[in-house]
Amino acid sequence: MITLGLDVGSLTSKAVIQEDNQILATQVIRSKARPWESAREVYDQVLASANIGADQIDYSIGTGYGREKIPFVQEVVTEVSCHGRGLKWLVPSARTIIDIGGQDCKVIKLDKNGDIEKFSTNDKCASGTGRFLEVMGKILDLDLEQLGKKKTSSQNPVTLASACTVWAQADVIGHLNSRVPIEDIAAGVNNAMASRISVMVNNVGIERELCMTGGVAKNQGVVSALENLLGVKIKKLRRFDPQIIGALGAALLARNHSNGGRK
Amino acid sequence: MITAGCDVGSLTAKAVVMEQGKILGSSIQKVRAHPEQAGQEVLESALREVNLDKGDVGAIIGTGYGGKNLPFVNRCESEIICHSQGAVWQEPDTGIIIDIGGQDVKAIKTDAQGNVLRYIYNDKCASGTGRFLEIIAEALELELDELGEIHDKSGKDLSLSNQCVVFAETEVISLVGEGEEIPDIVRAMHYSVSHRAASLARSLEIKPVAVMSGGVAKNRGMFKALQDSLGTELRSIPYFQLNGAIGAAILAEDSGQITGDRKKKSEVGQ
């Protein structure tokens, strides 16, 4: 049985094609202005990459911020369920998931069976989301990857006075103007991000293993600052892109529809 | 006794010179680099207007975000007390003051003497502050001064779904992309700020009459939106932007006795 998972996020759109217990192809693109355009493009690309036709897909599930706007999937499922399912498949011992998206942040707790026990979401405030890092990266003229690496080179990270992205931005500009080294500011930004996320994580409560999904999981600066604040190691997803867990989960959930049948 | 109040905010510095309950002179200017320098300049400019110098002033009180470190003041007072005093002096019926500043928003409940009963403020989040207006105006390529007029041209009830300034900015850009009219977006932005300010006020229980202080009150669209969101009478006060400085000058009058060296020197001089 071949299934497809499509995760249309605010910043990136992801697709995964699965056959039985194997991943046939994955694809990540930068999201377009319209969710259905993003969905179409990532869909076409992932099919091309798996070298199969649309008619070979038995069942498809859409998720993510733009999930309601995807015309060609058979079903839509919340991101929380997809992340839970995807991660459980990759890391069977996972119990707590921190998922940081382009404009939201979620903490999900799974029970022993991998079902969702508790979760908390922030999509009201840009602080603690990928957007915070994006805004700061732009001022510091660093891309997200470079921003993550600055943590290790800083001896003296700055402290940002406010969690609000707008006020923190003013703070960062102030530090730049007073010639504080970039790595100290970047480390301060990563720490601020981690501290905001840690509040949410502690509210939900940690149970090990703790894993992180979403693009920000690639930022080593935030990851290690979070580990310090939480006092718990974050389990690495080896050889697997943390950005595609939602799409993977969608493809896995699609397998429950064995009666979907080929069209 | 001649007194002065100097209110240095995050965006503008205001000074008022008063004598026996009357305003002699005043000045408002932008804060550029140093708050102390802005405070100094704005006070000098207010004094110049009425041909006085600092030696003529019996007591000076500093207030506001940048008013704490002014070298020439006798004392500092919190903005909350100053706004309360200023508002009751300007409008004796004042029950609650809404002050939308450049970096914060406050609601202050006062008694008939200008004593603070309760207050609440938000300076943790840019939503509901003047900064929200600045950022959205910039995204729309509009000047702050024209927002009020543009608001009046709105004919459609539009609202922003995001409260966070960062998300609202993106939302506004996509609204423009979807073909929504600028006046309708401007009006929606004013309501977003006023809802936030009104919910702060409501947590204190609104006591009529409400007044609005701070430079944002200049914006008639914002004023109308706030009146609507509060659901109570909102009266305009003549010196909305000088309100904090007026309150400081009034408090300086009350505390004439405990002023420092400067006062003594000026008395000797006379």
pLDDT tens over chain A, length 263 residues? 999 999 999 889 999 999 988 999 999 999 998 889 999 999 999 999 999 999 999 999 999 988 888 888 999 999 999 999 999 999 999 999 999 998 899 999 999 988 999 999 999 999 999 999 999 999 999 988 888 876 667 889 999 988 999 999 999 999 999 999 999 999 999 999 999 999 999 999 999 999 999 989 989 999 999 999 999 999 988 888 999 999 999 999 999 886 544 43
Spatial distance between the Cα atoms of A119 and A218, rounded to a whole number of angstroms? 22
Contact flag A166-B126 (C-beta cutoff 8 Å): yes
Q: Which two tokens stand for residue A10?
A: 């605010």
Contact flag A124-B163 (C-beta cutoff 8 Å): yes
Give the per-residue pLDDT at B256. Answer: 53
Regarding whether B53 and B176 lie in a shared domain, the answer is: no
Residues of B in contact with A125 (CB under 8 A): 125, 163-164
Our count of domains for chain B comes to 2
Give the per-residue pLDDT at B265. Answer: 35
Contact flag B166-A33 (C-beta cutoff 8 Å): no
Contact flag A135-B166 (C-beta cutoff 8 Å): yes
Regarding whether B53 and B122 lie in a shared domain, the answer is: no
Contact flag B164-A167 (C-beta cutoff 8 Å): no
Residues of B in contact with A178 (CB under 8 A): none
> Phi then psi for A207, rounded to 5 degrees?
-130, 135
Spatial distance between the Cα atoms of B128 and B216, rounded to a whole number of angstroms? 11
If you ran DSSP here, which 8-state letter would residue B216 be given? G
Give the per-residue pLDDT at B259. Answer: 42
Regarding whether B198 and B112 lie in a shared domain, the answer is: yes
Give the per-residue pLDDT at B258. Answer: 46
Cα angle, residue A31 at apex, residues A27 and A32 outer, rounded to 5°? 130
Regarding whether B198 and B134 lie in a shared domain, the answer is: yes
Give the per-residue pLDDT at A65. Answer: 85
A37-76: per-residue pLDDT in tens? 999 999 999 999 999 999 999 999 999 988 888 888 999 9
Measured between CA atoms, the residue of chain A closest to residue B104 is A167
Regarding whether B230 and B177 lie in a shared domain, the answer is: yes
B226-253: per-residue pLDDT in tens? 999 999 999 999 999 999 999 999 999 8
Q: Give yes or no for a contact between A78 and A119, defined as CB atoms under 8 angstroms apart.
A: no
Spatial distance between the Cα atoms of B44 and B23, rounded to a whole number of angstroms? 15
Residue B185 is part of a domain; what is its CATH number?
Answer: 3.30.420.40
Residues of B in contact with A126 (CB under 8 A): 164-167
Residues of B in contact with A103 (CB under 8 A): 167
Residues of B in contact with A137 (CB under 8 A): none
Q: Give yes or no for a contact between B43 and B55, defined as CB atoms under 8 angstroms apart.
A: no
Regarding whether B108 and B77 lie in a shared domain, the answer is: no
B20-36: per-residue pLDDT in tens? 999 999 999 998 878 88
Share of chain A above pLDDT 70, in %: 97
Q: Which residues of B touch A (CB under 8 A)?
A: 103, 124-126, 131, 135, 162-167, 174, 177
Contact flag A135-B135 (C-beta cutoff 8 Å): no
Q: Does B46 map to a domain?
A: yes
A76-86: per-residue pLDDT in tens? 999 999 999 99
pLDDT at B257 over 60: no
Residues of B in contact with A131 (CB under 8 A): 166-167
Contact flag A165-B177 (C-beta cutoff 8 Å): no
Task: Output the CA–CA distances (angstroms, integers) from residue B195 to B129, B134, B226, in the order listed.
Answer: 11, 17, 7
Q: Does B252 map to a domain?
A: yes
Measured between CA atoms, the residue of chain A closest to residue B167 is A126
Q: Which residues pair with B108 in a beta bridge?
A: B97, B119
Q: Which residues of A touch B (CB under 8 A)?
A: 33, 103, 124-126, 131-132, 135, 162-167
Share of chain B above pLDDT 90, in %: 83
Q: Which of B110, B114, B130 has the alpha carbon at shortest distance from B193?
A: B130
Mean pLDDT of B114-118: 96
Q: Does B88 map to a domain?
A: no
Regarding whether B264 and B226 lie in a shared domain, the answer is: no
pLDDT band at B264 (very low <50, low <70, confident <90, very high): very low
Contact flag B124-A163 (C-beta cutoff 8 Å): yes
Spatial distance between the Cα atoms of B97 and B88, rounded to a whole number of angstroms? 9
Find the domain containing B64 and state its range.
2-82+242-269
Q: How many CB pairs under 8 A join A and B?
A: 33
Residues of B in contact with A33 (CB under 8 A): 174, 177
Q: Give yes or no for a contact between B135 and B167, defined as CB atoms under 8 angstroms apart.
A: no
Regarding whether B169 and B76 lie in a shared domain, the answer is: no
Q: Strand ranges (DSSP E) for chain B? A: 2-8, 12-19, 22-30, 59-63, 75-76, 96-100, 105-110, 116-122, 210-213, 234-235
Q: Does B44 map to a domain?
A: yes
Regarding whether B210 and B250 lie in a shared domain, the answer is: no
Query: Is the interface score ipTM higher than 0.95?
Result: no
Q: Which of A85, A81, A86 has the alpha carbon at shortest distance from A106?
A: A81
Contact flag B126-A164 (C-beta cutoff 8 Å): yes
Regarding whether B106 and B204 lie in a shared domain, the answer is: yes
* DSSP reduced 3-state for B231: coil
Amino acid, res. A66: G
Q: Does B210 map to a domain?
A: yes
Contact flag A164-B135 (C-beta cutoff 8 Å): no
Q: Does B87 map to a domain?
A: no
- Rounded mean pLDDT of chain A? 91
Contact flag A126-B167 (C-beta cutoff 8 Å): yes
Regarding whether B246 and B146 lie in a shared domain, the answer is: no
Mean pLDDT of B153-166: 95
Q: Does B20 map to a domain?
A: yes
Regarding whether B115 and B72 lie in a shared domain, the answer is: no
Amino acid, res. B5: G
Q: Does B89 map to a domain?
A: no
